[in-house]
Chain A
Amino acid sequence: MDPFQQLIYSQRPDVQGHPANDWWQLWGANELRNRLAQLGRVDVLQHVGGDNNLLRDWYTLWGSQEYPNIWNEQPKQQQGLDTQYAAGGVESAPSIPQFENVLPWEKVQQQWLPSMTAVGQQYALPEVQRQLNKDMQEYMMGMASAGGGRFGSAWGGTGALQSAAQRQGTEMTQDYITGQMNALKGLWYDPTRSEYQRPREPGMSDYGAKVSRSGYDVSTASDANLVMSSAFKTLKLVKIVDMTGETTVAHGLGFIPTFIFLRATKAGEWRMNNPGYSEGMLSTIYVDDTNVYRLTTGVSVGAYVMLFTDRLDE
């Protein structure tokens, strides 16, 4: 039985009893396209386009390997961010791009399939043709020896022999492709993927992130040429508070934060951390683990205080 027919009858019992190819052309191909769309297999849909025969080949050769029974396959629900973060191994997930992103196995197969098919046919078809010639000769000889009256009807039997040879050629070609693909995956793709991924799977004891300035290689850039590195703390601004006049503001951080302030002079000039001694006034700004305070003598001038999440007292 034709491999496609065998597959479709086993995976779709409802088709049994109907000509598989007719059902495929009328209904099956469109059903599979819908299923592929539900499964998000844009790669397959783009590859086969509107060609039902190409889709049938994909289903027979690859779909049957990728899915136990694609007709029963349920689309995966998109997981929430919390669920994704909670998944095991996320903390040690390799940094992108992963090998599968750079070179998907499906893409390798797509690109190799035409040449492998051609080679497989070169290997299989002459063998099949030789067998067909032999079978035809034996059949015709048999019919001829059975009597001239039967010779005319013998041509009908040759069609069956040719169909059988065609199926055998297809099977041999597919066997060849499957073997070659498995060899390619086992001998090249998987080992290459493994080596590619290995340096991207750091141990938990040595990991982090850094970003270099434009024009600098992040792997060799000096600390001064890094925009950010997880080896160092970065001041993280959490609040800017208007502290005009003598006032107290609760910062709500629960620890003594690093702070910087900008204060106006009597003349309206804004200066960083200027307590105002030079113009005869005292403008003290300080923090504890609860509040930001401003004590001031003289005129009430403006001030803004930047508060950072970084502690001052440790």
Chain B
Amino acid sequence: MALGGYMGRILRVDLYEEKLRVEELPETVLRKWVGGRGLGVYLMLREVNPRVDPLSPENKVILLTGPVTGTGYPMSGRWCSVTKSPLTNTIHDSQSGGKWGPELKFAGFDAVIIEGAAEDPVWLWIHNGKAELRCARDLWGKDVHTTTDKIVEELRDEIGDEAKKVKVACIGPAGENLVRFASIMNDKNRAAGRGGHGAVLGAKRLKAVAVRGDMRPKPADEEAFREAVREAMGKIKESAVTSQALPSYGTAVLVNIINKHGIYPTRNFRTGVFEGAEKTSGETMAETLLVKDMVRKEACWGCPVSCARYTRVRDGPWTGEGGGPEYETIWAFTAQCGVDSLEAAAKANYLCNELGLDTISMGHTIGTFMELVEKGRVPEEKLRGLRVEWGSQEAVVELTWRTAYRSGVGDDLAEGAKRLAEKYGEPDVAMVVRGQELPAYDPRGVQGHGLAYATSNRGGCHLRAYMISPEVLSIPKLVDRFSTEGKPELVKTFQDLSAVIDSMVVCKFSVFALWAEDYTEALSSVTGVNYTVDDVMKIGERIWNAERAFNILSFGDGREYDTLPRRLLEEPMPEGPAKGYVVKLGEMIDEYYKHRGWIDGRPTRERLEELGLKWLAEMLDEENLLPQ
């Protein structure tokens, strides 16, 4: 009997040969890897040499959904992309909301594997179980919104009004120009942002994937699944975060919370207190830029929370409108750059949506550049008359443009903070882990979050293990944020659980209301496999270890990479509630390895075999990469 929840088919697209093939996945694979991130990691390990150049045709991009996608399970209107990242050289998954994910399933497929590279630009059209490649020469060079509109327009001639229901994922000029943090955008304003998946599609000359269909996934045990949905909905309604804070203020509700804890990274992580926080907060946005009528429309498919924002800047130099800004985006274009204008941040956000850029890496990298300029490392002529200094709104908006088109110094910014800082002779200025720019929490005042950053398989990321939840937000319960005690085990638990959530392809914010038992119930009833909570956590651990193995094979990942920028380890926070603290990584890392069953950041043969990954242990052993 086939497992429930899945469409049971994946689409393989060979761009080199222009051949499409429909395949089935063995049930044993789905049981072990679930879907989304987990399935993507498994397929990458099986099909791609981890040492491949991420921008070469030998790399693949896999677009995936999960078993609950399109079923009506709350907070599951999402999809994810898995590839080897051109930013980090790690295995990398990037998650996005909107409506594209469920529509891919309605079009008949659980996932799309994209391999090779096209000679001329193409786009992919998937419609009720059928798929075809089409010429994208006219779309190449176009921004995300124009591309989306043009595809819908083209399809209108063929399918009439049904074209209104077509969902488009595409890249913008940044992806075409191989910006290392170019995003894949979908539904115009939603982004699989982090890690440069858009650049990988750009290198393959695949401009867009449009989907539409009337097929529906069917849960294995409909009654039990309905009950799981009902229970989850109840908990989401009970939680003040998912029923009140996120719907009213979006993620930007965090600006003041994080700033008042003294961990809001300011001017490239020099301090954790930003004087312009109130002016750029979620509260201010709700009173000024937010277009309330658009909130429901911008929500992810079937989501009861609707945290996505839509804003409009009516006057001043930064007029425009569009999706966002989220908490992370606000931070990246304001505090990180010392800018106190919500309007400038919104404008930069609109540009990122249209040009196809990750807002976190973009704003973060501009902050890095501002510090390099301040240090006198950047020759004046490189700036072409632009004043680049902390607080410059013009610099934030203009450098976003230049980066997307690799124009002038934008060519350097397009390489990301790590390569930028190295090029200008100040590698320590880059606030990165494994080459990915850190997001909006200074870990000096949240020790567990620091460990989570350091050990993140996809590089600097807050969502591998969102330790802000227990260390700041008291969810599920408050732990002492300045203490290292018990943090390694807690980080491991959050990492493993998050890997499962990303593989079911459910929103991370559901964790504010749900926990492992809830996900287990949903997964069991939708698939028909009788999982226990232990099984589910083991799936998460398997994925985490498989990702680490990919990285070891890719670039020799291990202890030397499980670290943080020197600033966070050695320079005490200069002011505010976290004053005097550094991240005490040394107190946590060995205990973390003990909980993982690793030696020096690498899984042992025993650990891998316990997780059913003997074949991966053999792969590592062949290269002498297993710890002795």
**Chain A bound to chain B:** no
